[in-house]
């Protein structure tokens, strides 16, 4: 970290005030580039302080200097920059931003997409549509959310079509688009897509950015708990641990613990118990996380550490049905070999395979079990796996 950045992010006003002025007035592009580069290493409160220091120095005589900083994108300073540009926007600035949107780099386009959410010039619509499915997630999200503000339904309807695609990556793209668009009316179709997708965890991790999980659980408990279970499955792998705050996991798990526990919520609590045991016992998960994230992870572990694990195991057997949304998770925890064997007659070949694996794990698998399972298997790949177990 350079001396200039240390001064800008430090606690001494004699250091950070002249650095903040320098960054805006020159502007010091190299200093801003380094600030953005260190985004992942600075605590949120430090970045908030820096943003506040910079904002105090922006005025009508120097705001155009911000345009030179747009080559370096950070969500931490996006609102600061765009709100300042929008505050002083005129026709010339709008023309400059339109030109950048057409000819700039991806970082500049990302800022531009946000700028036009505030200055809604219809000339930006083509650029917004053109970049809506960019591989840059920030650019894509900004374009789609701005199109929503324009009331553009074309992108919304196109995303709904993607959900019906046979390509699961295209389905995931559709989910992300609908989440950025922000129209909750798409939730039922998103959840229907998730229930048949092999990328369910990836899709589920997007849901809390469209619909509050508490809201979903209270309006449709089964679907809400299903999404929560998928989020737990993917935590630390599909989604980052810092997202525990976005997902409100502590509050939701506390809510479930204090309610009458059902077979469905028992599945969630067992899954959460094991997930947070794993996260806290393996240094590789927490090594690079901030102090706040680590504390939240350990707080959640403490919250669920006193649950009656044995009682939960008894409750989950009600979900040992092939039509249960929680069947795969239940098969990870059940000890009920009788009900597991009943699943060997399932119409779902993946459930049959998982049941065979569960019986093997419980040291209860027989050749008869395998023979019964194979009677219901037409998928050659699954047949080979069962024969090899």
pLDDT at res. 41: 85
Check pLDDT > 90 for residue 42.
no
pLDDT at res. 291: 85
Please, where are the H alpha helices in 182-262? 187-194, 200-204, 213-219, 221-234, 244-247, 249-258
pLDDT at res. 142: 96
Q: What is the mean pLDDT of residues 31-49?
A: 92
The percent of residues in the chain predicted with pLDDT above 70, rounded, is 100
Helix, coil or strand: residue 267: helix
Check pLDDT > 90 for residue 369.
yes
pLDDT digits (tens, 9 = 90+) for 200-246: 999 999 999 999 999 999 999 999 999 999 999 999 999 999 999 99
pTM of the model: 0.86
User: What is the C-alpha to C-alpha distance for residues 366 and 388, in angstroms, rounded to an integer?
Assistant: 13
The percent of residues in the chain predicted with pLDDT above 90, rounded, is 92
CA–centroid distance for 103 within its chain: 30
Q: What is the mean pLDDT of residues 178-186?
A: 95
User: What is the C-alpha to C-alpha distance for residues 230 and 354, in angstroms, rounded to an integer?
Assistant: 17
Q: What is the mean pLDDT of residues 286-290?
A: 84
- Quickly state the pLDDT bin for 137 (edges 50, 70, 90): very high
Check pLDDT > 90 for residue 124.
yes
Check pLDDT > 90 for residue 44.
no
User: What is the C-alpha to C-alpha distance for residues 295 and 14, in angstroms, rounded to an integer?
Assistant: 33
Cβ-contact 267, 326 below 8 angstroms:
yes
């Amino acid at each position: 970290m350079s001396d200039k950045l240390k001064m800008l992010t430090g606690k001494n006003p004699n250091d950070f005030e002249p650095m903040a002025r320098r960054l805006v007035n020159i502007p010091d592009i190299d200093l801003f580039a380094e600030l953005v580069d260190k985004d992942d290493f600075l605590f949120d409160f430090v970045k908030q302080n820096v943003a506040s220091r910079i904002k105090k120095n922006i005025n009508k005589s120097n705001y155009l200097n911000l345009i030179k900083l747009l080559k370096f994108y950070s969500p931490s300073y996006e609102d600061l920059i765009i709100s300042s540009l929008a505050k002083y926007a005129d026709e010339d600035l709008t023309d400059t931003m339109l030109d950048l949107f057409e000819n700039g780099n991806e970082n500049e386009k990302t800022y531009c997409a946000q700028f036009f959410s505030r200055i809604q010039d219809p000339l930006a619509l083509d650029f917004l549509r053109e970049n809506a499915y960019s591989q840059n997630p920030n650019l894509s999200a900004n374009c789609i959310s701005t199109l929503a503000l324009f009331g553009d339904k074309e992108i919304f309807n196109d995303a709904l079509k993607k959900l019906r695609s046979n390509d699961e990556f295209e389905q995931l793209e559709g989910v992300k688009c609908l989440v950025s668009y922000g129209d909750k009316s798409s939730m039922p179709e998103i959840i229907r897509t998730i229930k048949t997708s092999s990328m369910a965890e990836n899709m589920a991790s997007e849901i809390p950015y469209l619909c509050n999980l508490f809201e979903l659980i209270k309006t449709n408990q089964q679907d809400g708990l299903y999404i929560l279970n998928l989020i737990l499955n993917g935590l630390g792998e599909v989604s980052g641990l810092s997202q525990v705050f976005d997902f409100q996991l502590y509050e939701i798990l506390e809510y479930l613990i204090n309610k009458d526990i059902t077979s469905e919520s028992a599945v969630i609590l067992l899954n959460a118990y094991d997930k947070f045991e794993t996260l806290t016992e393996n240094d590789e998960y927490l090594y690079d996380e901030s102090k706040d994230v680590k504390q939240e992870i350990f707080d959640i572990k403490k919250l669920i550490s006193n649950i009656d694990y044995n009682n939960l195991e008894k409750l989950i057997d009600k979900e040992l049905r092939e039509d249960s949304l929680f069947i795969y998770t239940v098969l990870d925890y059940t000890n009920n070999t009788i009900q597991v064997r009943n699943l060997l007659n399932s119409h779902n070949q993946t459930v049959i395979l998982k049941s065979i694996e569960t019986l093997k794990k419980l040291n209860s698998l027989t050749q008869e079990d395998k023979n019964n399972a194979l009677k219901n298997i037409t998928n050659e790949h699954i047949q080979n796996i069962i024969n090899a177990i």
